[in-house]
Structure 1
Amino acid sequence: MRHIMVLNAKGGCGKSTIATNIASYFATQGANVSLADYDPQRSSLDWVERRPSNRATIHGVAAFEDGLRRAPRNADILVIDSPARSHGAELTELVKHAETIVVPVLPSTIDMQATARFLEELKSIGKIERKQAKIATVANRVRDNTLIWDELDEYLTKTRVPYVAALREAQNYIRAYTRGIGIFELPEYIAWPDWEEWEPLTAWLRTKRSQP
């Protein structure tokens, strides 16, 4: 079973949106997918419960209650939606469950500063130092032609962490979430710009560069 974790100590950066869409992507590719939600707000679990019966099944795991003990052992992919404010021993414990870590970052000075500190803490964890888990960053909810987006793009380009995708702020994510589906399950004529933006991220996730 492959473990993909969406992780950032900063709250409100879109972890659940990224996690649900990674889960739906692999499910639409025919994988047996589980989605574990460590956040008591249970945004990812709520999404799973909304999922239509005619869509590829995704098994939800209430990880905020008892960790990954109830995660199905026969899953091909386990996507993990991590809680906010994870630091120190809690962060180290979370990373034990990760092989691939995706860090979403919003275009704001506060988010960039918080993420800079978080990435340094993350890279200091033994498992990461030993290259037993791979990290990438994703610019999330970006608006083209804004100064703060230019700043975020420059910042992520300069970090010593792979910067694999930039995802726009779009109503399609809200449309998909409220229906329990992913961006890849919306009609092409609506969602093709988002599919194009996701391609570098899904391509990275499919390569060995994203795995230890």
Structure 2
Amino acid sequence: MQIFVVNSKGGSGKTTIATQLASHYAQTRHQITLVDRDVQKSASDWFQNRPKSLPNIQLIKDLNFIPINSHNNGVVIHDMPAGFVPTLECPIFANHEINKILIPIMPSPTDIKAGLRLIMAIYRSGLLEEKIKVGFVANRTRSNVRYHQTLMDFLHRVDIPLVGTLRDSQNYIRSMEHSVSIFDLPSHSVKQDLEQWQPIIDWLEH
């Protein structure tokens, strides 16, 4: 399975989503590959400091959009750069494997506008006709913030499904600081966060 974490806007939480997913699959699968395609190398920095005692993750650094075969690399998670817009012409989508695109989006005016532009680009790209599954993840949400409801209203009006909602939690900051994930922390301390991830994982698995 190939999972692409995409948003043309920077600062949406792509690396956090990609590294959390990599850690989850490392605990449940024999092989997991994290592909850092972002010039900022945040995923690589996280990987370099990850404790060796945790389940193995393979890291590939690639800025040239070279396809990665999941038959040799297990579950492949791509941390895509800001500015990237997925199209069928991009060689990384040419392998016709089970490709799924996750779009993290935050509750702010600029994120919603960027999300709308990305949706329009995906509609024009023909990706949906190729049965590539695309889903939104509402990221760093706080229900008491005004733009939370604005984001929810926006996501429920588009044809691309909202597959999960992740709260604005210090657990993500703490885990990224130590190059681990919430899946590596004591379950009793991250219970609510783990529950929020389950719908996302279910969507990816089906």
**Same structural fold, with TM-score higher than 0.5 when normalized by the shorter chain:** yes
Counterparts in 2 of 1:150 and 1:74: CA distance versus 1, 3 Å? same
Distance in 2 of aligned mates of 1:118 and 1:190: 35
2:24 paired with 1:15? no
Unaligned runs of 5+ in 1: 208-212
Give yes or no for contact 1:38–1:81 (8 Å, CA) kept in 2: yes
Query: Within 5 A, what are the aligned runs for 1:152-163?
Result: 152-163=151-162
Give yes or no for contact 1:61–1:70 (8 Å, CA) kept in 2: no
* Aligned twin of 1:5: 4
Q: Which of these residues, 81, 84, 89, is aligned with residue 82 of structure 2?
A: 84
Give yes or no for contact 2:105–2:112 (8 Å, CA) kept in 1: yes
Distance in 2 of aligned mates of 1:58 and 1:88: 25
SS of 1:74 mapped into structure 2: helix
* Aligned twin of 1:96: 93
Give yes or no for contact 1:107–1:142 (8 Å, CA) kept in 2: yes
Distance in 1 of aligned mates of 2:187 and 2:62: 33
- C-alpha displacement of 1:37: 0.8
Distance in 1 of aligned mates of 2:103 and 2:184: 23
Q: Which moved more, 1:69-78 or 1:14-23?
A: 69-78
Q: Deviations over 1:73-93 (max 9, x none)?
A: 62210000001012487x841
* Aligned twin of 1:110: 110
What is the TM-score of this pair, normalised by structure 2?
0.91
SS of 1:158 mapped into structure 2: coil
Unaligned runs of 5+ in 2: none
* Aligned twin of 1:170: 169
Counterparts in 2 of 1:161 and 1:69: CA distance versus 1, 3 Å? closer
Over 4 Å off, 4+ runs: 69-73
> Which amino acid in 2 is paired with 1:96?
F
Identity %: 33
Query: Within 5 A, what are the aligned runs for 1:21-170?
Result: 21-64=20-63, 66-68=64-66, 74-87=72-85, 92-93=89-90, 96=93, 99-131=99-131, 133-170=132-169
- C-alpha displacement of 1:23: 0.8
> Which amino acid in 1 is paired with 2:29?
G
Give yes or no for contact 2:65–2:90 (8 Å, CA) kept in 1: no
Q: CA RMSD in A?
A: 2.0
Give yes or no for contact 1:31–1:77 (8 Å, CA) kept in 2: no
What is the TM-score of this pair, normalised by structure 1?
0.88
* Aligned twin of 2:193: 194
